[in-house]
């Protein structure tokens, strides 16, 4: 018996995979924007805490915070587009 013969096909129907792909393509930019917003808020708080509590900055913490702040402008256009598409779907008259 060959190893390929013992592999079972997926139990999920093909329509299930298509549904997941459609949801992911619409919601992913919004989820990403939410995560980046949380990360930016956390990086800002930790950067402020470094100065107020320790009166010093950690080089690697600042590098990580800078990288986090740099991701926000990259995600905003895609999130706006996804939000516009979502609002168009919601505001469709019956």
Predicted pLDDT at 86: 79
Distance CA 38, CA 58 (A): 21
Residues ≥6 apart with Cβ < 8 Å to 73 = none
Question: pLDDT digits over 32-80, tens only?
Answer: 999 999 999 999 999 999 999 999 999 999 999 999 999 999 999 999 9
Residue range 15-24: average pLDDT?
Answer: 60
Distance CA 90, CA 47 (A): 39
Predicted pLDDT at 90: 65
Distance CA 8, CA 52 (A): 59
Separation of CA 19 from chain center: 19
Q: Regarding predicted confidence, which is higher, 88 or 70?
A: 70
Residue 41 contacts residue 68 (beta carbons within 8 Å)? no
Residue 3 falls in which region: left (phi positive, over 0), alpha (psi -120 to 50) or beta: alpha
Q: Regarding predicted confidence, which is higher, 31 or 12?
A: 31
Residue 23 has pLDDT above 60, yes or no: no
Residue 9 has pLDDT above 60, yes or no: no
Confidence of residue 21 (pLDDT cuts 50, 70, 90): low
Q: Where are the domains of the chain?
A: 33-94
DSSP string, 78-92: HHHHHHHHHHHHHT-
């Amino acid at each position: 018996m060959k190893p390929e013969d013992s592999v079972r096909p997926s139990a999920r129907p093909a329509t299930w995979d298509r549904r997941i792909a459609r949801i992911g393509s619409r919601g992913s930019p919004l989820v990403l924007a939410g995560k980046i917003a949380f990360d930016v808020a956390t990086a800002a708080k930790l950067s402020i805490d470094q100065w107020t509590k320790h009166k010093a900055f950690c080089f690697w913490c600042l590098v990580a915070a800078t990288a986090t702040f740099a991701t926000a402008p990259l995600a905003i256009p895609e999130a706006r587009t996804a939000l516009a598409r979502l609002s168009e779907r919601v505001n469709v008259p019956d």
